[in-house]
A = this chain, B = another copy of it.
Amino acid sequence: MAGTAVQHYVRNAWYVAAWEQEIEGDAVLKRTLLDVRRILYRTGDGSGYILLQDRCPHRFAPLSMGERKGDAIACAYHGLEFGAGGRCTHNPFSGTLPGHAVIDSPVVLARHGLVWFWPGDPALADPAAIPDFSFLEGQDVWRRRSHFAGDYELLADNLMDLSHVDYLHRRTFDTAGTHHRSTHTVSDGEGGALWNTWRIPEVRRFPVLEPHFADEAPIDQLTEMRWNAPASMMLRISWLPGGGSERDARYTMVNPHIITPETRTTSHYFWTCAPDAESEAFARAVFEGEDGPMIEAVQGEMGSSDFWAMKPMILKGDVGAVRARRRLIRLRHAEAGLQAGDEPTSG
Protein backbone atom coordinates (compact mmCIF):
# COMPACT_ATOMS: atom_id res chain seq x y z
CA MET A 1 0.00 0.00 0.00
CA ALA A 2 2.41 2.59 1.28
CA GLY A 3 5.90 2.02 -0.09
CA THR A 4 8.53 4.62 -0.91
CA ALA A 5 8.34 7.12 -3.75
CA VAL A 6 8.53 5.56 -7.19
CA GLN A 7 11.93 6.28 -8.75
CA HIS A 8 12.26 7.66 -12.23
CA TYR A 9 14.48 4.75 -13.28
CA VAL A 10 14.34 1.04 -12.62
CA ARG A 11 17.27 0.50 -10.24
CA ASN A 12 17.62 -3.28 -10.20
CA ALA A 13 18.47 -3.82 -13.83
CA TRP A 14 21.50 -4.09 -16.06
CA TYR A 15 22.34 -1.01 -18.07
CA VAL A 16 25.13 -0.48 -20.59
CA ALA A 17 27.71 2.11 -19.57
CA ALA A 18 29.96 1.91 -22.63
CA TRP A 19 31.46 -0.21 -25.35
CA GLU A 20 34.64 -1.74 -23.94
CA GLN A 21 36.53 -0.24 -26.86
CA GLU A 22 35.56 3.28 -25.70
CA ILE A 23 38.05 3.00 -22.82
CA GLU A 24 41.56 3.25 -24.14
CA GLY A 25 44.21 1.65 -21.93
CA ASP A 26 44.43 3.45 -18.59
CA ALA A 27 42.19 6.32 -19.65
CA VAL A 28 39.37 7.49 -17.43
CA LEU A 29 36.05 7.82 -19.24
CA LYS A 30 33.63 10.49 -17.98
CA ARG A 31 29.98 9.70 -18.60
CA THR A 32 26.67 10.69 -17.08
CA LEU A 33 24.46 7.66 -16.49
CA LEU A 34 20.95 7.84 -14.98
CA ASP A 35 21.54 11.47 -13.93
CA VAL A 36 24.80 10.66 -12.12
CA ARG A 37 28.17 11.90 -13.36
CA ARG A 38 30.49 8.90 -13.32
CA ILE A 39 33.98 7.83 -14.19
CA LEU A 40 34.80 4.43 -15.66
CA TYR A 41 38.20 2.85 -16.03
CA ARG A 42 39.86 -0.51 -16.47
CA THR A 43 41.84 -2.04 -13.61
CA GLY A 44 45.58 -2.22 -14.11
CA ASP A 45 45.62 -5.99 -14.56
CA GLY A 46 42.93 -5.72 -17.20
CA SER A 47 40.65 -8.02 -15.23
CA GLY A 48 37.76 -5.67 -14.80
CA TYR A 49 36.35 -2.19 -14.54
CA ILE A 50 35.77 0.39 -11.82
CA LEU A 51 32.75 2.66 -12.05
CA LEU A 52 32.53 5.51 -9.52
CA GLN A 53 30.46 8.59 -9.01
CA ASP A 54 32.59 11.45 -10.31
CA ARG A 55 32.58 13.27 -6.98
CA CYS A 56 34.97 13.30 -4.06
CA PRO A 57 32.91 12.96 -0.84
CA HIS A 58 35.11 15.54 0.90
CA ARG A 59 34.46 18.74 -1.03
CA PHE A 60 32.61 17.38 -4.07
CA ALA A 61 35.45 17.92 -6.53
CA PRO A 62 35.01 15.89 -9.72
CA LEU A 63 37.44 12.98 -9.49
CA SER A 64 37.80 13.19 -13.25
CA MET A 65 39.93 16.31 -12.64
CA GLY A 66 42.38 14.10 -10.75
CA GLU A 67 44.60 11.30 -11.91
CA ARG A 68 44.99 7.58 -11.52
CA LYS A 69 47.31 6.16 -8.87
CA GLY A 70 47.29 2.47 -9.77
CA ASP A 71 43.72 1.27 -9.49
CA ALA A 72 42.78 4.28 -7.38
CA ILE A 73 42.04 7.81 -8.47
CA ALA A 74 43.50 10.81 -6.59
CA CYS A 75 41.40 13.91 -6.07
CA ALA A 76 43.05 16.98 -7.57
CA TYR A 77 41.83 19.23 -4.76
CA HIS A 78 43.18 17.74 -1.49
CA GLY A 79 44.77 14.48 -2.53
CA LEU A 80 42.31 11.90 -1.22
CA GLU A 81 42.41 8.63 -3.15
CA PHE A 82 39.58 6.21 -3.88
CA GLY A 83 39.49 2.80 -5.51
CA ALA A 84 37.51 -0.40 -5.92
CA GLY A 85 34.13 -0.35 -4.25
CA GLY A 86 34.45 3.42 -3.90
CA ARG A 87 36.56 3.05 -0.75
CA CYS A 88 39.13 5.64 0.34
CA THR A 89 42.61 4.24 -0.08
CA HIS A 90 44.68 7.26 0.98
CA ASN A 91 44.01 10.20 3.32
CA PRO A 92 46.74 12.86 3.39
CA PHE A 93 45.30 14.40 6.54
CA SER A 94 45.66 11.35 8.71
CA GLY A 95 46.94 7.79 8.86
CA THR A 96 43.34 6.73 9.30
CA LEU A 97 41.15 5.97 6.32
CA PRO A 98 37.64 7.38 6.69
CA GLY A 99 35.81 4.09 6.23
CA HIS A 100 32.38 5.65 6.23
CA ALA A 101 33.15 7.84 3.26
CA VAL A 102 32.42 5.53 0.36
CA ILE A 103 31.73 6.70 -3.17
CA ASP A 104 28.75 5.23 -4.95
CA SER A 105 30.18 2.42 -7.06
CA PRO A 106 27.70 0.17 -8.85
CA VAL A 107 28.44 -3.42 -9.78
CA VAL A 108 30.09 -3.37 -13.19
CA LEU A 109 31.23 -6.10 -15.59
CA ALA A 110 32.06 -6.55 -19.23
CA ARG A 111 30.29 -8.97 -21.50
CA HIS A 112 30.33 -9.37 -25.26
CA GLY A 113 32.24 -6.11 -25.67
CA LEU A 114 29.80 -4.07 -23.60
CA VAL A 115 30.40 -2.73 -20.08
CA TRP A 116 27.24 -3.35 -18.04
CA PHE A 117 26.39 -1.89 -14.64
CA TRP A 118 23.69 -2.44 -12.03
CA PRO A 119 22.68 0.77 -10.22
CA GLY A 120 20.49 -0.99 -7.62
CA ASP A 121 21.08 -3.44 -4.79
CA PRO A 122 24.42 -5.23 -5.43
CA ALA A 123 23.08 -8.38 -3.78
CA LEU A 124 20.59 -8.71 -6.61
CA ALA A 125 23.05 -8.14 -9.43
CA ASP A 126 22.94 -11.50 -11.19
CA PRO A 127 25.20 -11.64 -14.25
CA ALA A 128 22.96 -14.33 -15.68
CA ALA A 129 20.25 -11.70 -16.02
CA ILE A 130 22.23 -9.72 -18.58
CA PRO A 131 20.29 -9.96 -21.85
CA ASP A 132 21.90 -12.20 -24.41
CA PHE A 133 23.99 -10.20 -26.84
CA SER A 134 26.37 -13.09 -27.50
CA PHE A 135 25.83 -12.63 -31.24
CA LEU A 136 28.16 -9.62 -30.93
CA GLU A 137 31.01 -11.99 -30.05
CA GLY A 138 33.27 -12.12 -33.06
CA GLN A 139 30.93 -10.07 -35.25
CA ASP A 140 32.99 -7.99 -37.66
CA VAL A 141 31.13 -4.73 -37.04
CA TRP A 142 31.87 -1.19 -35.99
CA ARG A 143 30.57 -0.44 -32.49
CA ARG A 144 29.22 3.07 -32.07
CA ARG A 145 27.42 5.32 -29.63
CA SER A 146 25.10 8.23 -30.47
CA HIS A 147 23.74 10.86 -28.12
CA PHE A 148 20.10 11.93 -28.32
CA ALA A 149 18.41 14.82 -26.53
CA GLY A 150 15.40 12.64 -25.76
CA ASP A 151 14.19 10.44 -22.93
CA TYR A 152 15.26 6.80 -23.26
CA GLU A 153 11.65 5.62 -23.39
CA LEU A 154 11.01 7.78 -26.45
CA LEU A 155 13.92 6.04 -28.14
CA ALA A 156 12.50 2.66 -27.15
CA ASP A 157 9.06 3.66 -28.47
CA ASN A 158 10.70 4.50 -31.76
CA LEU A 159 12.34 1.08 -32.01
CA MET A 160 9.32 -0.83 -30.73
CA ASP A 161 7.03 0.68 -33.37
CA LEU A 162 8.81 0.18 -36.67
CA SER A 163 5.80 1.41 -38.64
CA HIS A 164 7.55 4.78 -38.56
CA VAL A 165 10.01 3.39 -41.11
CA ASP A 166 7.40 3.88 -43.83
CA TYR A 167 7.21 7.59 -43.04
CA LEU A 168 10.21 8.92 -41.18
CA HIS A 169 12.71 6.82 -43.14
CA ARG A 170 10.98 6.77 -46.49
CA ARG A 171 13.85 8.66 -48.11
CA THR A 172 16.55 6.37 -46.68
CA PHE A 173 14.87 2.95 -46.58
CA ASP A 174 12.28 3.46 -49.29
CA THR A 175 10.01 0.77 -47.80
CA ALA A 176 6.98 2.26 -49.53
CA GLY A 177 4.36 1.29 -46.98
CA THR A 178 5.77 -2.18 -46.37
CA HIS A 179 5.34 -2.10 -42.62
CA HIS A 180 1.73 -1.04 -42.83
CA ARG A 181 0.78 -4.26 -44.55
CA SER A 182 2.62 -6.48 -42.07
CA THR A 183 1.14 -8.87 -39.52
CA HIS A 184 2.22 -7.61 -36.13
CA THR A 185 2.40 -9.65 -32.94
CA VAL A 186 3.87 -9.06 -29.50
CA SER A 187 4.70 -11.91 -27.14
CA ASP A 188 6.62 -12.67 -23.98
CA GLY A 189 9.99 -14.37 -24.21
CA GLU A 190 12.46 -15.92 -21.82
CA GLY A 191 14.16 -13.85 -19.16
CA GLY A 192 11.60 -11.10 -19.15
CA ALA A 193 11.98 -10.33 -22.85
CA LEU A 194 9.23 -8.93 -25.03
CA TRP A 195 9.29 -9.98 -28.68
CA ASN A 196 7.80 -7.57 -31.16
CA THR A 197 7.36 -9.31 -34.52
CA TRP A 198 6.33 -8.10 -37.93
CA ARG A 199 5.75 -10.58 -40.74
CA ILE A 200 5.82 -8.73 -44.05
CA PRO A 201 4.85 -10.64 -47.18
CA GLU A 202 6.50 -10.15 -50.54
CA VAL A 203 9.13 -7.55 -49.87
CA ARG A 204 11.52 -6.02 -52.35
CA ARG A 205 14.42 -8.08 -53.62
CA PHE A 206 17.19 -6.04 -51.97
CA PRO A 207 20.63 -6.49 -53.61
CA VAL A 208 21.97 -8.19 -50.48
CA LEU A 209 19.35 -10.93 -50.92
CA GLU A 210 20.20 -11.80 -54.51
CA PRO A 211 22.71 -14.57 -53.70
CA HIS A 212 20.19 -16.23 -51.41
CA PHE A 213 17.08 -16.00 -53.52
CA ALA A 214 18.15 -16.84 -57.07
CA ASP A 215 14.64 -17.66 -58.22
CA GLU A 216 11.90 -15.13 -58.82
CA ALA A 217 9.62 -16.48 -56.07
CA PRO A 218 8.28 -14.07 -53.45
CA ILE A 219 10.37 -13.20 -50.37
CA ASP A 220 8.86 -12.68 -46.94
CA GLN A 221 10.54 -10.61 -44.25
CA LEU A 222 10.41 -11.40 -40.57
CA THR A 223 11.40 -8.44 -38.40
CA GLU A 224 11.86 -9.16 -34.71
CA MET A 225 12.66 -6.65 -32.01
CA ARG A 226 13.54 -8.24 -28.69
CA TRP A 227 13.25 -5.89 -25.71
CA ASN A 228 14.61 -6.32 -22.21
CA ALA A 229 14.06 -3.80 -19.46
CA PRO A 230 15.02 -1.08 -19.25
CA ALA A 231 15.71 -0.55 -22.97
CA SER A 232 18.16 -3.13 -24.30
CA MET A 233 16.99 -4.24 -27.69
CA MET A 234 18.11 -6.67 -30.35
CA LEU A 235 16.85 -6.34 -33.92
CA ARG A 236 16.82 -9.47 -36.05
CA ILE A 237 15.64 -9.37 -39.64
CA SER A 238 15.24 -12.64 -41.55
CA TRP A 239 14.27 -13.19 -45.14
CA LEU A 240 12.45 -16.39 -46.06
CA PRO A 241 10.76 -17.87 -49.10
CA GLY A 242 7.22 -16.52 -49.35
CA GLY A 243 4.94 -18.30 -46.91
CA GLY A 244 7.85 -20.17 -45.29
CA SER A 245 8.56 -20.51 -41.60
CA GLU A 246 11.30 -18.92 -39.54
CA ARG A 247 13.43 -22.05 -39.89
CA ASP A 248 13.59 -21.50 -43.64
CA ALA A 249 15.36 -18.15 -43.26
CA ARG A 250 18.02 -17.80 -45.92
CA TYR A 251 19.57 -14.58 -44.74
CA THR A 252 19.54 -12.90 -41.32
CA MET A 253 20.85 -9.62 -39.89
CA VAL A 254 21.21 -9.06 -36.14
CA ASN A 255 22.00 -5.74 -34.47
CA PRO A 256 22.02 -4.32 -30.96
CA HIS A 257 19.95 -1.23 -30.19
CA ILE A 258 20.71 -0.51 -26.57
CA ILE A 259 19.58 2.66 -24.86
CA THR A 260 20.88 3.97 -21.54
CA PRO A 261 19.42 7.08 -19.95
CA GLU A 262 21.98 9.84 -19.56
CA THR A 263 19.50 12.18 -17.87
CA ARG A 264 15.73 12.35 -17.84
CA THR A 265 15.74 13.98 -21.23
CA THR A 266 18.92 12.68 -22.88
CA SER A 267 20.16 9.23 -23.82
CA HIS A 268 23.07 7.14 -24.98
CA TYR A 269 22.35 4.89 -27.94
CA PHE A 270 24.68 1.93 -28.57
CA TRP A 271 24.56 0.40 -32.04
CA THR A 272 26.68 -1.34 -34.66
CA CYS A 273 27.08 -1.23 -38.41
CA ALA A 274 28.98 -3.04 -41.13
CA PRO A 275 32.69 -2.25 -40.89
CA ASP A 276 32.97 0.38 -43.59
CA ALA A 277 32.56 4.14 -43.77
CA GLU A 278 29.59 4.00 -46.13
CA SER A 279 27.60 1.78 -43.77
CA GLU A 280 28.40 3.99 -40.81
CA ALA A 281 27.39 7.08 -42.75
CA PHE A 282 24.10 5.44 -43.73
CA ALA A 283 23.37 4.37 -40.15
CA ARG A 284 24.12 7.88 -38.90
CA ALA A 285 21.90 9.36 -41.61
CA VAL A 286 19.03 7.20 -40.34
CA PHE A 287 19.64 7.36 -36.57
CA GLU A 288 21.09 10.82 -36.17
CA GLY A 289 19.58 12.47 -39.24
CA GLU A 290 16.00 11.14 -39.05
CA ASP A 291 15.19 9.46 -35.71
CA GLY A 292 17.23 11.88 -33.65
CA PRO A 293 15.63 15.14 -34.80
CA MET A 294 12.15 13.61 -34.48
CA ILE A 295 12.75 12.27 -30.98
CA GLU A 296 14.33 15.53 -29.91
CA ALA A 297 11.36 17.47 -31.30
CA VAL A 298 8.97 15.19 -29.40
CA GLN A 299 11.02 15.72 -26.25
CA GLY A 300 10.81 19.45 -26.89
CA GLU A 301 7.01 19.18 -27.09
CA MET A 302 6.88 17.10 -23.91
CA GLY A 303 9.26 19.21 -21.85
CA SER A 304 9.23 17.71 -18.39
CA SER A 305 5.65 16.40 -18.68
CA ASP A 306 4.87 12.77 -18.02
CA PHE A 307 4.08 10.78 -21.15
CA TRP A 308 0.79 9.32 -19.88
CA ALA A 309 -0.31 12.58 -18.33
CA MET A 310 -0.23 14.01 -21.86
CA LYS A 311 -2.87 11.45 -22.91
CA PRO A 312 -1.24 10.10 -26.06
CA MET A 313 -3.53 8.68 -28.73
CA ILE A 314 -2.92 4.91 -28.76
CA LEU A 315 -3.03 3.13 -32.11
CA LYS A 316 -2.68 -0.49 -33.17
CA GLY A 317 1.04 -0.15 -33.90
CA ASP A 318 1.78 0.94 -30.35
CA VAL A 319 1.08 -2.36 -28.64
CA GLY A 320 4.75 -3.34 -28.22
CA ALA A 321 5.91 0.06 -27.02
CA VAL A 322 3.00 0.34 -24.62
CA ARG A 323 3.66 -3.10 -23.12
CA ALA A 324 7.30 -2.15 -22.58
CA ARG A 325 6.34 1.12 -20.91
CA ARG A 326 3.84 -0.66 -18.64
CA ARG A 327 6.39 -3.24 -17.66
CA LEU A 328 8.79 -0.47 -16.60
CA ILE A 329 6.04 1.11 -14.51
CA ARG A 330 5.38 -2.25 -12.83
CA LEU A 331 9.09 -2.74 -12.12
CA ARG A 332 9.37 0.75 -10.64
CA HIS A 333 6.27 0.15 -8.52
CA ALA A 334 7.62 -3.15 -7.32
CA GLU A 335 10.91 -1.49 -6.32
CA ALA A 336 8.97 1.12 -4.38
CA GLY A 337 7.03 -1.60 -2.60
CA LEU A 338 3.71 -0.68 -4.20
CA GLN A 339 1.05 -3.17 -5.18
CA ALA A 340 0.29 -3.61 -8.84
CA GLY A 341 -2.90 -1.57 -8.70
CA ASP A 342 -1.49 1.41 -6.83
CA GLU A 343 -1.12 4.70 -8.55
CA PRO A 344 2.49 5.61 -9.10
CA THR A 345 3.83 8.85 -7.74
CA SER A 346 6.46 10.33 -9.94
CA GLY A 347 10.03 10.01 -8.58
Residues of A within 8 A of B (CB): 37, 55, 57-62, 65, 75-79, 91-94, 98, 101, 157, 161, 163-164, 166-168, 180, 293-294, 297-298, 300-302, 310-313, 315-317
Q: Is the CB of B62 within 8 A of A161?
A: no
Residue of B nearest to A161 (CB): B78
Name the residue among A60, A294, A316 with the largest chain B CB count within 10 angstroms: A60
What is the predominant secondary structure among interface residues of chain A facing chain B?
Answer: loop
Chain B residues with Cβ under 8 A from A58's Cβ? 312-313, 315
- If A37-B301, A78-B317, A93-B317 are given as contacts, then 11 extra A-B residue pairs at C-beta distance below 8 Å, sorted by A number, are A55-B301, A57-B312, A58-B313, A60-B301, A62-B301, A75-B167, A77-B164, A78-B164, A92-B167, A93-B315, A98-B313
Chain B residues with Cβ under 8 A from A161's Cβ? 78
Q: Is the CB of A93 within 8 A of B316?
A: yes
Copies of this chain: 3
| Bound Cα distance from A310 to B316, whole angstroms | 47
CB-contact partner of A77 in B61, B92, B294, B316, under 8 A: B294
CB-contact partner of A180 in B93, B163, B167, under 8 A: B93
Q: How far is the CB of A293 from chain B (nearest CB, A)?
A: 8
Q: Is the CB of A76 within 8 A of B310?
A: no
CB-contact partner of A157 in B59, B157, B166, under 8 A: B59
Given contacts A77-B294, A98-B315, contact A302 B164 (CB under 8 A): no
- List 6 tightest A-B contacts by C-beta distance, closest first: A101-B313, A60-B301, A93-B315, A57-B313, A79-B167, A93-B316
Given contacts A60-B302, A78-B167, A163-B93, contact A65 B294 (CB under 8 A): yes
Q: How far is the CB of A64 from chain B (nearest CB, A)?
A: 9
Chain B residues with Cβ under 8 A from A311's Cβ? 57
Name the residue among A62, A77, A101, A298 with the largest chain B CB count within 10 angstroms: A77
Chain B residues with Cβ under 8 A from A317's Cβ? 78, 93
CB-contact partner of A163 in B61, B92, B98, B300, under 8 A: B92
| Bound Cα distance from A312 to B160, whole angstroms | 44
